Amino acid sequence: MAVDTFTWRTQAQPTGSENMSVIAVQFGDGYKQVASSGLNATAQSWTLSLTDTKSNVAPIRSFLQKHVITSFFWVNPWGEKKLYRVKADSISSTFLAAEVITLSFTFEEAFAP
């Protein structure tokens, strides 16, 4: 099965975060031991938005709805092509006028299609 790619342009100033999963143990003498939690301990998430006409936003919204469970490729602002999924409940629409919409959503890094 082919993996889809998100190719639409988004607004400037996307917000990204890197969530690092670690296991830490603090001992009574002040020593703290920290280790990576699993193979993919660091995962990125990106909050994005775009503004366009209703007819141009509709196919993007449809793509986002289909990719909450299924992974897709996207080249993040760092220039890294990685697998992502749309974060559940992150898609929101703001109607600026009858035919102009701002669509906001969040991508979470995925590690399997």
pLDDT in tens, 37-75: 878 888 999 999 999 999 999 999 999 999 999 999 999
Residues paired with residue 34 on neighbouring β-strands, in sequence order: 24
Higher pLDDT, 19 or 50: 50
Identify the pLDDT of residue 109: 96
Structure confidence at residue 51 (pLDDT)? 96
pTM of the model: 0.85
Classify residue 9 by its DSSP letter.
Answer: -
Token pair in block for residue 8: 């639409």
Coil, helix or strand for 16?
strand
Per-residue pLDDT band for 82 (boundaries 50, 70, 90) equals very high
